[in-house]
Amino acid sequence: MEMVQSSRTSKWVSLCVVFFAHFVSVMADDGPLLNGDFESPPRGGFSNEGLVDGPTTIPNWKTNGTVELVESGQKQGGMILIVPQGKHAVRLGNDAEISQELKVEKGFIYSITFSAARTCAQLESINVSVGAASQNIDLQTLYNVQGWDPYAWAFEAEEEDAHVVFRNPGMEDDPTCGPIIDDVAIKKLFTPDPPKDNAVTNGDFEEGPWMYRNASLGVLLPTNLDEETSSLPGWIVESNRAVRFIDSDHFSVPQGKRGIELLSGKEGIISQMVATTPNKPYKLTFSLGHAGDSCKQPLAIMAFAGDQAQNIHYVADANSTFQTVDLNFTSKAERTRVAFYSVYYNTRSDDMSSLCGPVVDDVRVWFSGARRNGLGRLSLGFGFGLFVLILVWV
């Protein structure tokens, strides 16, 4: 009888789980946008005729200006165009744009992940916007030798309809120039509460932008000074270059599935203001490692906590991809800045040009006077040791 009862209960529970899983997946909408990889054939099929002026019909997208579907292997001006994923991508000509309407939940933060490559101009950039929120993402720096990178940008949903627009703000003389976009996805972010014994929000970096499982390049997080709308909840990227969000499927990550690889030396800084009580002793603890991406050593970071700054070199260890670092500081205010950047400008030893660097993960800030009992016992022990020492001495 009890068996029947429990099997009924478990059926009911699994039904509920199925129902809620379905409900959540409908609401969350995480993943690639409709035709986000530009592989759906337009009416009449893909054309290999190169430049098409006027309205190119790209399924699920609205276009404006010179928007071209490019195919891998396609040449333009003696140069092979880069297609980040699959066989097709879009190229945006001068002032051209593509856009798509999405249903989102008002008040939530969403992050858009997309792959971009520049074609010819050094100063190419791409503008991503939703309503009044907009950012120009600079494609000048080639972070890796493949010529393209995934980027993430976050916005707060002001309404239930989000009109996501990618625009080429450039005005190049050569109409065949202009950035290439591919693999557009979205993820609704949540900001985890800091754990009880850690003042850092998302210190393990497990919450962040959408990542494609098959993409091995991580996701670049460009400059973002607004901690309220960050693709990396809790953190800002306060430098003019990007840092890389990496996953354990393709990189060595000290803790969990995600971590941050610092690139471009001082030009790639992540930071967070953490809540502290003034004039109290604290400890900043974090993991420092390598990403397993053939990054040329030495690897080192500068770590900041309040008025303390420390240069720490990663010491290669055959048994581990990372080490744990401690930094003691005394808080001066109710908010203390914690920040990291790479000391060196590292590149990969296999291609000599892709940017790489040290990995940070598992960042914790805790009140080191919190364990009063432990400390009390410690000082008692110390006192007793001193007493014994004095006895022995006498």
Helix (H/G/I), strand (E/B), else coil: 266: helix
Strands (E), 52-179: 62-64, 67-71, 75-76, 79-80, 88-92, 97-103, 109-117, 125-130, 133-138, 148-156, 161-167
Site string for Ca ion, 352-381 (x = CB under 5 A): ---------x--------------------
CA angle 268, 256, 202 (to 5 degrees): 55
Q: Is 261 in the site for Ca ion (CB under 5 A)?
A: no
Contacts (CB under 5 A) with Ca ion, residues 304-363: 361
Question: Minimum Å distance from CB 148 to Ca ion?
Answer: 25
Count, residues near Ca ion per rule CB under 5 A:
7
Question: Minimum Å distance from CB 254 to Ca ion?
Answer: 7
CB nearer to Ca ion: pick between 126 and 263: 263
Residue 88, C-beta contacts closer than 8 angstroms, at least 6 positions apart:
37, 38, 39, 46, 69, 70, 71, 72, 182
DSSP class of residue 40?
Answer: S
Question: Minimum Å distance from CB 287 to Ca ion?
Answer: 8
Q: Is 68 in the site for Ca ion (CB under 5 A)?
A: no
How far apart, in Å, are the Cα atoms of 176 and each of 73, 98, 147, 168, 314? 15, 17, 17, 13, 45
Residue whose Cβ sits closest to Ca ion: 256
Q: Judged by CB under 5 A, which of 148, 155, 205, 314 binds Ca ion? A: 205
Residue 25, C-beta contacts closer than 8 angstroms, at least 6 positions apart:
none
CB nearer to Ca ion: pick between 170 and 259: 259
CB nearer to Ca ion: pick between 166 and 314: 314
How far apart, in Å, are the Cα atoms of 306 and each of 282, 288, 394? 10, 19, 44
Distance CA 67, CA 178 (A): 10
How far apart, in Å, are the Cα atoms of 175 and each of 47, 52, 65, 232, 275? 19, 11, 11, 36, 51
Q: Is 204 in the site for Ca ion (CB under 5 A)?
A: yes
CB nearer to Ca ion: pick between 152 and 157: 152
**Which region among 27-35, 126-134, 137-145, 200-208 touches Ca ion (by CB under 5 A)?**
200-208
CB nearer to Ca ion: pick between 124 and 361: 361
Q: Judged by CB under 5 A, which of 50, 77, 175, 256 binds Ca ion? A: 256
Binding site for Ca ion (CB under 5 A): 204-205, 255-256, 258-259, 361
